Amino acid sequence: MSGEPYEEAPWTDPIRGMTSDLVYAADEETAIQVVTEGPCPRCRDHTSDEQWLITDVAGLVETDDQRAMVATIELRLAQLRRRGEPTPGVPELIHQKMACRCAGEHPDRDSKRRNGCGAYWSYDLDVPQDYR
């Protein structure tokens, strides 16, 4: 449904149609990221977003390079294991903040913005016991 004018505004109505998956570290036990995708609740174009779960590393490293971030997190996890310290578990509840990052055309979008319709929202993701 591209064509919806760009408007930076919160979306407060229910969010429907989004799916989330956990991305695991090489040990296949430690979840490091949640990836959510589906239709933007405002413009209905496909959008996706990622949120790092290992925040003591992700909050300190500034990069858009996915491989570099995963490598940094893997190093941190290896460091914890060598010290005999526990690795972070998956929380029962993940509070995710998202903004539309669709590729649709939206009139009035600032030329500095490459994507999205301007909608942003947050929601809570209940993580089933099997994934924690």
What is the domain range of residue 113?
9-131
pLDDT-based confidence at 2, cuts 50/70/90? low
Let me know if residue 29 belongs to a domain.
yes
Task: Give the C-alpha separation, 29 to 111, whole Å.
Answer: 42
β-partners of residue 87 are none
Please report how many Cα atoms fall inside a 13 Å half-sphere around the Cα of residue 104, on the Cβ side: 25
Let me know if residue 107 belongs to a domain.
yes
| Whether pLDDT at 92 is above 70 | yes
Let me know if residue 67 belongs to a domain.
yes
Please give the average per-residue pLDDT across 66-88, as a whole number. 85
Let me know if residue 2 belongs to a domain.
no
| Whether pLDDT at 56 is above 80 | no
pTM of the model: 0.76
Domain count within the chain = 1
Let me know if residue 4 belongs to a domain.
no
